[in-house]
């Protein structure tokens, strides 16, 4: 939607509480009039993306920011140590009930189905039984977002479309490949996934996020190599975020820093002048996305 000829995709990665940075990134994009033709999201990126897909305006960003600023640990991870130990003793498939996560989804996005969205949204999940990447594009929205955010072992899996679905970050934390499934020639990547670092591992969630980071780095680097030369790829940088996975404090400062970083990146990209050479030949598009499965609806 940037120009009559430009087809734009937003790719929003997963990253837990780091998803707050995407609020600032989205604000910077929308303030410049950059509105996507399609949105692809994994985990928290799917949640943030759904808000924009329903209402691609700065006012929607104001609402999303308010939701993030009012989040706390008890809302997202309800329960006590005793209740979580009881879940383990009962051999449940999760430590934390997803009630808080479901309430967060309801507060963030009022849309009931994918059909209610103004912009097409692709929600990346993982099929726990088959190991397949499953991209949801139709049907009820809230259960789809819940499935994409259901961190295995922490939140319960979601039964949807005759599948048992969990967090899409298990299979594709930064789903660039799905942006290339259509006639897209510009991709903005809002990557807030946890980088591999020397940060201390303090909890089981930190272990899970570190594992995702390792998987993410390998696949992300590989997918970037296969982006066709004619596709303009812009990666918006996330602020340094050393918070524990449970920590939702400091959201306002992170949003502000992400916003400023995104503005600088967009300004630098806008001022760049691509150079065409006679020997430049577009790389053939590899259909990486054909290996994933779009869930049917009943």
Residues 6+ apart with CB under 8 A from 264: none
- Going by the DSSP 8-state scheme, the letter that residue 113 receives in this structure is B
Provide the token pair at 71.
């989040």
The DSSP bridge pattern shows strands 121-127 and 38-42 to be: parallel
- Going by the DSSP 8-state scheme, the letter that residue 3 receives in this structure is S
Provide the token pair at 102.
């479901």
The question of whether 221 is a catalytic residue gets the answer: no
Distance CA 243, CA 4 (A): 42
The question of whether 43 is a catalytic residue gets the answer: yes
Given the residues 43, 98, 149, 177, the one annotated as active site: 43
Give the HSE-up count for residue 8: Cα atoms under 13 Å, Cβ half-sphere: 16
- Which residue has 């967090």 as its token pair? 167
Looking at the DSSP bridge assignments, the partners of residue 160 are 163
SS3 state at 8? strand
Given the residues 37, 127, 167, 191, the one annotated as active site: 167
Q: Annotated active-site positions, please?
A: 43, 167
């Amino acid at each position: 939607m940037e120009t009559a000829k430009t087809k734009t995709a937003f790719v929003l990665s997963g990253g837990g509480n780091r998803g707050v940075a995407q609020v600032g990134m989205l604000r910077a994009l929308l303030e410049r009039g950059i509105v996507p033709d399609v949105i692809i999201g994994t985990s928290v990126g799917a949640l943030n993306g759904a808000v924009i897909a329903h209402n691609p305006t700065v006012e929607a960003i104001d609402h999303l920011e308010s939701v993030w600023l009012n989040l706390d640990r008890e809302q997202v991870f309800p329960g006590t140590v005793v209740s979580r130990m009881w879940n383990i003793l009962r051999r449940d498939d999760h430590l934390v009930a997803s009630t808080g996560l479901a309430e967060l989804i309801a507060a963030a996005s009022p849309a009931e189905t994918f059909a209610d969205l103004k912009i097409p949204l692709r929600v990346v999940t993982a099929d726990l039984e088959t190991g397949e990447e499953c991209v949801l594009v139709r049907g009820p929205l809230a259960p789809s977002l819940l499935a994409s955010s259901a961190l295995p072992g922490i939140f319960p899996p979601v039964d949807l479309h005759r599948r048992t679905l969990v967090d899409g970050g298990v299979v594709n934390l930064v789903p660039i490949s799905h942006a290339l499934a259509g006639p897209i020639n510009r991709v903005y990547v809002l990557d807030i996934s946890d980088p591999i670092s020397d940060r201390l591992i303090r909890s089981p969630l930190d272990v899970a996020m570190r594992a995702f980071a390792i998987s993410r780095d390998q696949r992300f680097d590989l997918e970037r190599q296969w982006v066709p030369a004619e596709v303009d790829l812009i990666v918006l940088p996330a602020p340094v975020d050393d918070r524990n996975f449970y920590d939702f404090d400091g959201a306002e400062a992170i949003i502000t820093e992400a916003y400023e970083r995104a503005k600088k990146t967009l300004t630098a990209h806008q001022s760049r002048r691509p150079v065409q050479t006679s020997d430049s030949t577009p790389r053939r598009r590899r259909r990486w996305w054909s290996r994933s499965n779009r869930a049917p609806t009943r």
